[in-house]
Amino acid sequence: MIKKSEVVKIGFFTKPHGVSGELRLEFEGGVFNPIPSDYIICDMEGILVPFFIESYRLGGGNTGYVKFERVDNLAYANRFIGVSVYLPNTHVEEEVEYNPYDDIIGFAISDKTQGDIGVIHDVDETTSNVLFVVKHGNREILIPVHENLILSIDQENEIIYVDLPEGLIDLDSIE
Residue 151 exposure: Cα atoms within 13 Å on the Cβ side: 12
Is residue 80 helix, strand or coil? Answer: helix
CB 117 within 8 A of CB 109: yes
Going by C-alpha positions, the residue among 54, 81, 87, 57 that lies closest to residue 70 is 54
pLDDT tens digits along 20-29:
999 999 888 7
Residues 108, 68: one domain?
no
Spatial strand order of the sheet with 150-154 comes to 139-144, 131-136, 115-124, 108-111, 159-162, 150-154
Overall domain count for the chain: 2
pLDDT tens digits along 36-89:
889 999 999 889 999 999 999 988 778 889 999 999 999 999 999 999 999 998
The residue segments making up the domain with residue 25 are 4-91
Residues 8, 87: one domain?
yes
Q: What is the pTM assigned to this prediction? A: 0.52
Residues 82, 141: one domain?
no
Tell me the pLDDT band of 94, cut-offs 50, 70 and 90: low
CB-CB neighbours of 40 under 10 Å? 26
105, containing H or E segment: none
Residues 74, 21: one domain?
yes
